[in-house]
Structure 1
Amino acid sequence: MMGWLSYMRANRRGSLFLVSVLLVFLTACTSLPPASVQPPSSAIAASTDTALGRAAAAAMVAASAPEGQSGFRPIPQASVALDARLTLIKRAQSSLDLQYYLLGNDEVGHLVLRELRDAANRGVRVRLLIDDFYTTGMDRLLLGLAAHPNVEVRLFNPFGPGRVSTGGRLLSLASDFKRLNHRMHNKLFVADGAIVVAGGRNLADGYFLRDQGANFIDFDVLAVGPIVPRLTDIFDLYWNSPLVRDIETVARITESPADLREAFEAETAAYARRAMSPPPALDSYGVPTVGNEIDANLPHLIWAPATAYADGAGKALDGDRTGRAMQSAAYHNLETFQTARSEVMLFSPYFVPGEPGMKRLQVARDHNVTVRIVTNSMASTDEPLAALAYERYRVPMLKMGVELYELSEQELRKEDDMRHYFGSSRAQLHAKLGIIDRKTLIIGSTNLDQRSVTTNTELAVTIHSPELAQRTLKWFNSENPGDARGVYKLRLSDDGKKLQWIALHGERGSELVDEEPEVDRWLRFKLFLMSTFVPEDWL
């Protein structure tokens, strides 16, 4: 998600309000609330005193894992991904640390909050860190969770007093843009300091196939081993950052803790009464549910060396832009891509390489490295301005010899399993993955765009495992270029002057299209007008 551009499109009335009052805003409504004085808080280390800690430790022993290697389970299916998180919350005994860009004010968001409340009531310490950009109207809900014993809720880079309304937030954004444009895009889930889930999914309906309008194609990994304390250290750095505030210091408190708890119960109970479909007994790889795997001490993990890295919490606010870019998660990803000897395959919902990215692509092609990129088309994206920016690079990339594949709603629905998977909702790519030489997998929150490089904070995990890389490609039906489904492959016409789109149908052959498919020309015209006012760094 692109942040403030999405926010303004979704709140057009608020945008008009912004224009009408822009000349009279008050700086006092935009400043970062004062920090409360609290001692630093640290993750609780894994222990065999907890069931999750015992399972993780037993898995390492049973696998005879080489020193320094961690165990991973790929989780592409939405129902399995949701079940994994809920199972870990239910089974946690000591601590739960959650760090997310978006917590939905919807079924999944409320379900997670109720489970966190129940865990806290069992004596589990709960730390919930949420970016503040999409929390409009949620203060009372989050205060209700924080009113329970053993729970702390903190917000990253929060809005000030104007936070209570869409208009107030837009006003704050206009008057304090540099600070409020800086968002925490990380996604991390840690249970009992022993098991983590990391990847591209936020905690909202659209990431778990529960949205009626549009749902995301995404990817997570569950992990145990040495990678876990590295990720908990990253969580602690953010949790204790000067840019983070307790919800109680930000939101207006007009009710007692007891009243807030009662309101929390009432607001979340409506969703709790809905029946949840159970996950499949076996996932797409033939692995049982996370609960059954924990009971068996996680016998189906893939063991491999791995590293994790994240941006500094104040990334976009530091003075040295070049220095912070070279320390960013996106920069580390690019450094890993440079180790490729034969192939780099990239999955990203938004692809805006900029001049530096184009130079790196050229270097890869000069060394005969095949580069394949899978991204959203204009028709499938949730961020049309980003898609418009990407389109500027299509012809130059194709001339380099880069292979481009764009997700197609129409083509995806020609596959029986995909029609069943998404139902009547739109499908949109949200996975952020890099696969190098089919031996190394990079997964995390980092989009391949300028915001991820310069503005948003990001988290990434690099896993050196041919088996995991191959499983990932298998899920996306991308083991062989001609096997791709639900996408158009782009190429240049014979005279090199125009784009053409090829629908790949496997054994049924292919179909060539000369005009860009599924395009809304009126939308494209509006985007063209908007793009003249939006720098590429914001995308």
Structure 2
Amino acid sequence: MKLFNPIKSITPIKHMSLLTLLCGILLLTGCATPNPSVPEGFESQFVKRDYQAQAYLIPAANEAFARRIDLVRKAQSSIDMTYFSWNGDTLGLTLLNELKLAADRGVKVRLTLDDLLVFNEKWLADVDKHPNVQIKIFNPFNSRKMGWVGRAFDFQIHQEVLDNRLHEKYFNVDHQQMILGGRNIGDEYFGYSKEANFFDLDVLFTGDIIAPFATNYEQQWQSDFVVPVSELIKVNADISDTRHFSKALAKTQKKHPEITQNIELTINNMTNPAFIDVTVSPVFDSLQKMHDRLPYFRTRAEMTVSEELKQAKDVVISTPYIVPTDNEFTVIANLTTQASKVTLVTNSSASNDSLFIPAYYEKHRQTLLDMGVDIYEYKDTAKNDDHFYHGDTYYHNKTIILDNHVSYVGSSNFDPRSDFLNIEFGLFVHCTEFAEHLHQYLLQQKATLFWHVTQQENGDIQWRSQDKVLNSNPNYGSWHKLPDWLFRKMDGESEL
């Protein structure tokens, strides 16, 4: 197995340290093995199930965070959460403090975090000491105090175990309302980072659909793949001693009072969610993937919308990382062969937060254009209206819209890592009104946020935005050629 990518969705490439880069390269040099063969009849017993729900596509990044705070403040009995990453920055500590306050009044709080970005965060372990708070870590590393250097060598030794990561994003309050989408917890996911922000989405759900997601959460929580954070990070056993958390929170509140003020202003100005009645079909991964690395989620997802895919006339695919499986874009090829119009919305080479993916995307762009795919690439200079700060920008939306009626919401990027390594989940929303809202959310600023990429009759590629036309990859110059060539030689694409 080759690698997990410690840089994708973690450290924006324009701001990463040399050490992080070197560790990423070390991880890319692991022993390469092909994706496992999928047995004939795999998942043939899977049965699609539909549930009734109400859905609200949260229309702005700041509201997506404010909704979480508001839900926590109104929680009565329980809060269950799963995230791939939870930063110790202003938003991460602010939300954790609100959860602690909820626990003070008797709410039972449970949080499952993947371990890729959990090192020796004592502020996290401090909160776990609260009698009403439980934090567990998924598939923990052995190295905890040596940063990325320790993680890189740990991975080299135990890569068959450590390559599987928990990628779900889940926020369930009182089993009455839940938020699903692509955002992790941190400043950059909600437009509050001065350095770099992600364009991402969240959807608030109520109704019968919450029950199967709660069951999925419980299965993970009770599994052997999660370990209490108290067994991994040691702090003073005195539950009143929260010095690490208190110091970190006070520091960030003093440094960024304008963010705290804006969050409260957003909460105070929010109206009731405009829910839409929808029918939804959930798709969950299997923890068996930790042993056999088979594409449970991907297969179940394709089976769930198999008829819609066969009949599709117009398909929008949104993913931050367009990576083929075994060098084949099978679903896209099937769609274009049946004359479906396929629109791809993704990162440009310059806006991608992965250092490695653009090296491969340079050739895949040509392949996709040859297939007739209409491509929109997110600008590295994009300025989203709902971001509090404007720095570098990265595209992080993961969704599919079929014939403006069926839409996907979830954690999977539908790339090889999501298919064979990560634990993912999501659901398909059957509703034209919701699909229209989602399409507008993605592309309402199409003219200013994206390059429209086309292939001319002579084969040349052009990038167009309003009156601007470029014949070369925007802000991605010749200085990338050598590192891109080196990354391709590492043959690590299936793990990106």
User: How high is the TM-score relative to the length of structure 2?
Assistant: 0.86
Letter of the 1:136 partner, please give it. F
Letter of the 2:401 partner, please give it. I
Aligned pair in 2 of structure 1 residues 68, 265: CA closer, same or farther (>3 Å)?
Answer: same
Which of 359, 384, 402 is matched with 2:373 structurally?
402
Q: CA deviation at 1:422?
A: 6.1
Letter of the 2:339 partner, please give it. N
Letter of the 1:318 partner, please give it. H
Is 2:297–2:425's contact at 8 Å kept on the other side of the alignment?
A: no
Which of 485, 490, 495 is matched with 2:458 structurally?
495
Find out whether 1:155 has 2:106 as its counterpart: no
Residue matched to 2:152: 170
Which of 226, 242, 246 is matched with 1:265 structurally?
246
Say which SS state the counterpart of residue 98 (structure 1) adopts.
strand
Matches within 5 A, 1:341-356: 341-355=312-326
Letter of the 2:423 partner, please give it. T
Residue matched to 1:34: none
Could you say which structure has the higher helix fraction? 1
Say which SS state the counterpart of residue 368 (structure 1) adopts.
coil
Is 1:136–1:163's contact at 8 Å kept on the other side of the alignment?
A: yes
Which of 172, 194, 218 is matched with 1:190 structurally?
172
Say which SS state the counterpart of residue 392 (structure 1) adopts.
helix
Q: CA deviation at 1:485?
A: 3.5
Question: Quick one: higher RCO (CA 8 Å, sep 6+), 1 or 2?
Answer: 2
Find out whether 1:13 has 2:13 as its counterpart: no
Is 1:15–1:170's contact at 8 Å kept on the other side of the alignment?
A: no
Aligned pair in 2 of structure 1 residues 330, 280: CA closer, same or farther (>3 Å)?
Answer: farther
Aligned pair in 2 of structure 1 residues 398, 13: CA closer, same or farther (>3 Å)?
Answer: closer
Encode CA deviations 1:279-311: one digit per residue, 9 max, x unaligned.
69899xxx972xx52xxxx5x210010022221
Is 2:113–2:138's contact at 8 Å kept on the other side of the alignment?
A: yes
Distance 1:202 1:103 in 2: 6
Pick the structure with greater CA Rg. Answer: 1
Residue matched to 2:199: 217
Distance 1:342 1:366 in 2: 11
Question: Where does structure 1 lack aligned partners over 5 or more consecutive residues?
Answer: 21-66
**Percent of aligned pairs with the same amino acid:** 26
Residue matched to 1:526: 483
Matches within 5 A, 1:92-491: 92-138=75-121, 140-160=122-142, 162-166=143-147, 167-251=149-233, 253-258=234-239, 260-273=241-254, 274-275=257-258, 276-278=260-262, 289=270, 292-293=271-272, 300-315=274-289, 317-319=290-292, 321=293, 324-325=294-295, 327-329=296-298, 332-333=301-302, 336=305, 338-355=309-326, 357-410=328-381, 412-413=382-383, 418=384, 421=387, 423-477=389-443, 484-491=447-454
Encode CA deviations 1:185-214: one digit per residue, 9 max, x unaligned.
100000001100000000011001111111
Q: CA deviation at 1:451?
A: 0.7
Q: CA deviation at 1:450?
A: 1.3
Is 1:184–1:313's contact at 8 Å kept on the other side of the alignment?
A: no
User: How high is the TM-score relative to the length of structure 1?
Assistant: 0.79
Distance 2:266 2:109 in 1: 30
Encode CA deviations 1:308-342: one digit per residue, 9 max, x unaligned.
22212342x323x4xx21x2147515752624421
Q: CA deviation at 1:128?
A: 0.7
Is 1:76–1:475's contact at 8 Å kept on the other side of the alignment?
A: yes
Aligned pair in 2 of structure 1 residues 18, 204: CA closer, same or farther (>3 Å)?
Answer: closer
Letter of the 1:473 partner, please give it. H
- The count of aligned residue pairs is 461
Letter of the 1:332 partner, please give it. A
Distance 2:310 2:362 in 1: 27
Aligned pair in 2 of structure 1 residues 429, 2: CA closer, same or farther (>3 Å)?
Answer: farther
Q: CA deviation at 1:528?
A: 1.8
Question: Where does structure 2 lack aligned partners over 5 or more consecutive residues?
Answer: 27-49
